[in-house]
Structure 1
Amino acid sequence: MTKTNPGYFFEDYRIGQVIRHAVPRTVAEGERALYHALYPARHALYSSDAFAQDCGLESSPLDDLIAFHTVFGKTVPDISLNARANLGYAEGRWLSPVWPGDTLTSESEVIGLKENSNGKTGVVWVRTRGLNQVGEEVLSYVRWVMVLKRDPAAPAPETVVPELAKVVAPEDLVIPEGLSFDGYDFDLAGEPYRMADYEIGEVIDHVDGVTVEEAEHMMATRLWQNTAKVHFDATFREDGKRLIYGGHVISLARALSFNGLANAQMIVGLNGGAHANPLFAGQTVRAWSEVLDKAETGTPGVGAIRLRLVATNGPGAGLKGEDGKYLPHVLLDLDYWALMPS
């Protein structure tokens, strides 16, 4: 009897099944230091205790994407170890800041199943929750992945495709307790622009680029305890390349967006996202954003701005071709809400 974990295959999932993921992870200032070493992250609220205190918080929380990567990484052995592709995200909400010293765990509920017509793979939808050491929910999101079948002859489950909101409603966004931008220092934040200075439909070219190194993306994937074979094992893919974790692209693009969106301080909602094309070491990531919407929150002076963040690789303009498919230079198409001074 083998004691190793081969991962879940499509026929192993059941609607309503709840999977508690190993292993609890205590996050600390080391995560922040490594995160800022791996990505050119400069948003002031996550860089300075003094700045965060001037914004009403007890100290600087850990970057919102540290919470996302840590929670996500725990799900990989059970959800996407045998996945062919991570297809999308929806209904993501950051519900409470993560502080140095917090311990995070993850659990996922299967909310959708659909076998593909080839009979070799199927799509699994899960709602994942990240919890801290006192059972408080810090993050919740839905994602769906294409997973291999162990046995192509296994009968297909009943198809259940969940209905998901296209956008997290602004009134459902959670504003961290105490957050206030009354004492916000725009000079120290890096740019003078508040939400009122942005127009819906405005496109911002973030100008800078980052060339991805093999060692950096593998270090990042280890940091998040993401065990997907495609990120580590050069023999797993026919082309002998290690595929760069899509979350690495998210963090690179978010960090690049500082140039033009320095005051979009906290990600609080994830409306949707697609990893459009693969990225490999040696390639250069660039990014641009489009302002999709703006909303006031229940906290005076704190606005919510809805942004489309697009990461690209190499020359090319546009997002999708006439066939509706992403163009080859597009890596990431992410739709999210962030908080900024209104």
Structure 2
Amino acid sequence: MATRGSSRAGASKGRTASAIPQLPWNQIRPAPIVLVSGTEGFLADRAGRMLRDALKAQDASLEISDISAADYAPGELLTLASPSLFGEPRLIRVDSVEKCGDAFLTEMLDYLSAPADGTVVVLRHAGGVRGKKLLDAIRAGTGGGIEVVCSELKKDAEKYEFAQAEFQAAGRKVTPGALRAITSAFADDLAELASACQQLLSDSAEQITEATVDKYYGGRVETNAFAVADAAIAGRHGEALVTMRHALASGADPVPMVAAFASKIRTMAKLSGARGGSGQLAQQFGLAPWQVDRARRDLAGWSEDGLGRVIEVLAETDANVKGGGRDPVFALERMIRMVSARGRG
């Protein structure tokens, strides 16, 4: 993706200029304090993984700890940052700083005055005014930190450049037409765009072309599948039906469409009623933090009973579209109606 210069990265109207380096997500590096700011959770997650891998490459004995600023227990940071018997390097990842309470804010501000040796503290702040005093202190240079800016990619050109960088990083050739096709197909979700790029990279062709994209995503099968699922889960029944019919008319198969629904509903079911920060739940359920955040948004308006009924309908629909029923389209429409009603239909 295009790299924004440090003078522009993360700058917002009316905000005092930062005294610390402000870097794009793909230039993250170790520092005593690493503030990861911005609304794009997928890029923040990837930057965090890059930093973790770099630190582990330096020393395999790296100790990794996760804290939720939203559910912070007094003394937690000091305990995790205290020197160990063998002096292993430490990575302390703190999520939900935008939801922090007074206890975390006070202790983190104290920590900035004397960061622990051999320790990297990563603070994830997704936006908003909560914790502004802490952000201002870090940006003023207290603690010797850096800021990694993960702003949402809103323009088509930015998404095109992101996809282009995915192929460049893998050392693969890709035609401009293939880039335009894949970017257009997955423009609504950066995580899905990245996943699609990785799928294309698995192809053995010397160069990735529009034909390669069509081989995997002909008729925008996958895009339409997830677009249908997203609309239905959000309760937009009419939009989901129209998108489903367009997908089928474009050559989509009902089987991957049901799979898209199942993937999203399963993740929602895992997260339903779960408490904790995104990082903690991601580790607990084997998900990426952005998947946790997305599932939590999708769960708005759903009940446990509704999820249970939808899971049963998904199983029936899956069997019907795989040959167990006479009319797979009717089965899809019934499933979409039930999901759009959040299991109350």
Scaled to the shorter chain, the TM-score interval is: under 0.3
- TM-score, normalization: structure 2? 0.24
- TM-score, normalization: structure 1? 0.24
Q: Which has the larger radius of gyration?
A: 2
Structure with more of its chain in helix, by fraction = 2
Structure with more of its chain in strand, by fraction = 1
